[in-house]
Amino acid sequence: MRKKKVLFFVEAMGGGVFTYITNLANGLSEDFDVYVAYAVRKQTPINYKDYFNKNVHLIKVNNFTRQISIHDIKAFFEIKKICKNVNPDIIHLHSSKAGVLGRWAFNGKNIPVFYTPHGYSFLMSNISPFKKKLYRFMEFISAKRNCTTISCSVGENRETQKLTSRAFHVDNGINVKDIDAVLNNQDSNKNKSKVVFTIGRISTQKGPKVFNKIAESLPNTKFVWIGNGELRSQLTSPNIEVTGWKNRSEALKLASKYGIFLLTSKWEGLPISLLESMYMKKVCVVSNVSGNNNVIVNKENGYLCNSIDDYAGTIKRLLVNIPDKVVDNAYEDVITHYNSTVMAKSYADIYREALKEK
């Protein structure tokens, strides 16, 4: 019997979205014939093809761009052509640009169409009020199309339900076997280094100014930012080390040496770096924003913070003692819920149900 074809369109294939896409595509590839139509970003690993199973088909979209541009018209017709060539049974759009273009390119009547925002653009705090209104309007009118939105966190799903009633949510999950392979099954909990670290692009979303202020308030503590980005100049505190860009394996190996994961995001979908840190048994101190607070329950499996003093006070206490129970609870949450096997099964069930309804 022929496997059903699933076609992903992914404009934002970098960072956490890239990890998500590889995990989901690989997780589905045993039961579905998976195609990934994508654009390369600066954050896309050079050897990105090696991350996918050999039976996942990769198709480069030449006209996908991050910003609104004239290329969007070309991209619109390019993705229609790709769809015609693949002839999929399911279409799944990932991130805002692919989501808007795809919902207008495909009517969803003959082929079920799904959309996952990975963090709505209109929730970004580094854009003008005009752009926020524009992006919200684009999501609002696009949500009227024949498409089902699958959000990657409870918080994102709340925003989705303001736009459409055709909404599900499937929490992000990480491939724990991949992490074990990278770390050679070492017990990360054995190394309770009191170094504070984060992983990701140094961008407005990740709150480097807040990260820097926390470091300044704890001058005798070492902070490490695993990554690089356009706002590197904001990390001026002398006790901060910036590693520069690292591939995922290198980043995980570095992270495994440290003890306290700090995430100062201004907004999130559901951060992969947080889930990875939970699995590596790092105590997690994160901003109290949607996405983070859908995963972290304060003082149960991590710590939620609302101010510089809040962060600094929490880290000071953890430098003295990291509660094993908090770390163990976070680890168990990933094992039972936030892993790629659970995630892929949930998507497969949704796809199969949609195919029954055709």
Give tens-digit pLDDT for 129-184. 888 898 889 989 999 999 999 998 888 899 999 999 999 999 999 999 999 999 98
Confidence of residue 186 (pLDDT cuts 50, 70, 90): low
pLDDT at residue 119 in the model? 82
Tokens encoding 80: 């229609």
Band (214; pLDDT cuts 50, 70, 90): very high
H-run or E-run covering 196: strand 196-199
Long-range contacts of 135-144 (CB under 8 A, 24+ apart): 135/96, 138/100, 139/96, 139/99, 139/100, 139/163, 142/99, 142/100, 142/103, 142/104, 143/103
* Residue 187's pLDDT band (cuts 50, 70, 90): low
Mean pLDDT of the residues in the chain: 92
Please write the tens of the pLDDT for every residue from 275-327. 999 999 999 999 999 889 999 999 999 999 999 999 999 999 999 999 999 99
Q: Which CATH number fits domain 5-173+339-357: 3.40.50.2000, 3.40.50.720, 3.40.50.2300, 3.40.50.300?
A: 3.40.50.2000
CATH of 176-336, one of 3.40.50.11030, 3.40.50.2000, 3.30.930.10, 3.30.450.20: 3.40.50.2000
Q: Tell me the pLDDT tens digit for each residue of 87-119.
A: 999 999 998 889 999 999 998 888 999 999 988
Domains of the chain, residue spans:
5-173+339-357, 176-336
Given pLDDT bands bounded at 50, 70 and 90, which one contains residue 358? low
Residue 192: which pLDDT band, with cuts at 50, 70 and 90? low
pLDDT of 285 reads 99
